[in-house]
Structure 1
Amino acid sequence: MAEPVRVREIDSDEGQRLLRIIRRGNGSVVTWRRAQMVLLSAQGVSVAKIAEVTFTSDDRVRDVIHNFNADGFDSLYPKYKGGRPRTFTFAERREIKKIAKSKPAEHGLPFSTWSLAKLADFLVAEGVVDDISHEGLRVLLREEGVSFQRIKTWKTSRDPDYAAKKARVEHLYAIADGEVIPEHGEPKVVFCLDEFGGLFGKFEHTAWRLETRRRYASDETNDRWKRFVDTGEVGEDWADATEVRWFRDTIRAQTAQGKRMERVRIVDHPATLGQRYLLSSAKGNIGFGEDIRNMWRADADRLRLPAEDFWLFDSRLIALLRFDEDDELTHVDLITEPAEVVRCCMIRDAAWHHAVPWKQFMAETRSHA
């Protein structure tokens, strides 16, 4: 049996150099993609998994690894034949302009506006061009009369914290557009909450959720919460409520096509009021197509599962849910970085394997009561 393809051993300085290329995010998109593949291989990720999270073929990943093993960092940079920098053909310029003036959603992409980095990566991934730098793309678009300048409008507010909130939003937009480098602990990609719901109608094969919190403030704003507090049950008709109906119908339509929607919910012992509410509500979710499993927090701690809440769509897109100290959902970070996607896939595999189906979990809970 042939040995699996893997990058040669790299030292600490080489690892840091690869990280700088990936985190800097400017210059050649080809270099950035190749550096990701090499770093993932160095972390022990298989060729097949690298190909999956970088949206390319197994053969392409093997070529990148073989070339790096033979030629080192020189292999990460596009090979030019010398002379004047290449110019793009009329057909290439026309296609670049066409895509730049389109909406990302028209191409099935989960963000609302282009940035230079996003557009350059998409052009290379789709084979429109072999390579293009961010500066080269900027110049080409300027020549073609296409501008990325964003129009911002703000309404007057009486909120005393308005200025600070406005500055925070503008800073997040700057991160999203690649205008500033995020600091430690800040999101690399920012996703508006009003766009989040659209992901559930667009995923291609799987949507998987990890829920680890003891309380979700949004659960406590509807009539079924009040009913549960009063009676201990959410009722049989809760999924017919106006605020739930869209989600119910979307998931029914997706699962009817053979797609999977799955959750693992972490439960304390004893369960909190919010967790008991979700256990009671799960029957309705399962009825319209979800597969829900549960796990005691002690078991999650033993498996070293992180205290994170996220959706993983199609094993390539992470929607990391951010909450404030009052358990309110504040924003969603959209992450496609290969190393993070692989980490979340490993979390999913471990959690799903050890979690218990909802019906079995409820039976065990009642037997221990």
Structure 2
Amino acid sequence: MWQSAPPFGELLAGCQRSAVHLEMRDHYDDPDEAPRVSAWKSGYRPDPADRSTWWRPWLDMVSDTVARGVEIRRARVVSEPVSEYTNYLYDGTFANVAAGEQIRWLARRNASDLALPGNDFWVFDDRLVRFGYFSGEGAYLGDDVTDEPAVVKLCVDAFEGVWSRATPHEEYRI
């Protein structure tokens, strides 16, 4: 059944074992992130040794979830050479890793023979999928969730296919 998605925090709070996220865009236009992107473009880089410069509420949520025993994995399918925005994401990924996420990167050219859904998604406990929708310019348009078994299987298989080919963040070079 397809329905409007509850708040993301509720989905993560209800998670018992795993939450996986597949990102397939080369640019996202998040107004809340715009100041950090702008600062990055101007040369600012957060100091990994100074947590106060980069820790955010999202990272608290991830850290708390991982502390409950939930595995959080994120895979990013990216065009190479990478976009400026992907370079920004790469430079900040240390924060996600510090919070407990496992992150891998896959060059888009290495995903050509994988069946991937048309939208980014999260899968919670291999039972519920949350699709996120974005405009061509990367603006967030909304999301919905489904627990339809065929859709869940498609997304689980797609994520695992990407994950098995992707390079762990600590080894990936842009």
* TM-score, scaled relative to structure 2: 0.89
Question: CA separation in 1, counterparts of 2:32 and 2:108?
Answer: 22
Larger relative strand fraction? 2
1:320 is the counterpart of 2:131:
yes
Question: What's the CA shift for 1:201?
Answer: 2.0
Unaligned runs of 5+ in 1: 1-24, 26-187
Structure 2 letter corresponding to 1:228: W
Go from structure 1 to structure 2 and tell me whether the alpha carbon gap of 1:227 and 1:213 turns closer, same or farther (over 3 Å shift): same
Confirm or deny: 8 A CA contact 2:59 2:95 kept in the other structure: no
Go from structure 1 to structure 2 and tell me whether the alpha carbon gap of 1:220 and 1:258 turns closer, same or farther (over 3 Å shift): closer
Regions of 4+ moved over 4 Å: none
Bigger CA radius of gyration: 1
Go from structure 1 to structure 2 and tell me whether the alpha carbon gap of 1:234 and 1:218 turns closer, same or farther (over 3 Å shift): farther
Question: What's the CA shift for 1:268?
Answer: 1.1
Question: CA separation in 1, counterparts of 2:46 and 2:166?
Answer: 24
Question: What's the CA shift for 1:234?
Answer: 4.3
Question: What's the CA shift for 1:189?
Answer: 1.6
1:308 is the counterpart of 2:119:
yes
Confirm or deny: 8 A CA contact 2:18 2:124 kept in the other structure: yes
Q: Give the total of aligned pairs.
A: 171
Question: CA separation in 1, counterparts of 2:99 and 2:125?
Answer: 20
- Alpha-carbon displacement from aligned partner over 1:286-336 (angstroms, at most 9, x marks no partner): 001000000001011233434420000000000000112331111111111
Structure 2 letter corresponding to 1:273: E
RMSD: 2.0
Structure 2 letter corresponding to 1:299: N
Question: CA separation in 1, counterparts of 2:113 and 2:46?
Answer: 32
SS of equivalent residue, structure 1 residue 269: coil
Confirm or deny: 8 A CA contact 1:322 1:331 kept in the other structure: yes
* TM-score, scaled relative to structure 1: 0.44
Any residues of structure 2 matched to 1:328-367 within 5 Å, and which? 328-362=139-173, 365=174
- Alpha-carbon displacement from aligned partner over 1:92-117 (angstroms, at most 9, x marks no partner): xxxxxxxxxxxxxxxxxxxxxxxxxx
Question: CA separation in 2, counterparts of 1:208 and 1:250?
Answer: 15
- Alpha-carbon displacement from aligned partner over 1:198-254 (angstroms, at most 9, x marks no partner): 2122211101000000111006744321221011634434433xxx22x21221122
Structure with more contact order per residue of length (Cα contacts < 8 Å, sep ≥ 6): 2
Confirm or deny: 8 A CA contact 2:114 2:158 kept in the other structure: no
Any residues of structure 2 matched to 1:11-90 within 5 Å, and which? none
Larger relative helix fraction? 1
Residue 239 of structure 1 is matched in structure 2 by: 54
1:271 is the counterpart of 2:85:
no
Unaligned runs of 5+ in 2: none
SS of equivalent residue, structure 1 residue 295: strand
Identity, in percent, stands at 26
1:211 to 8, 23, 47: 23
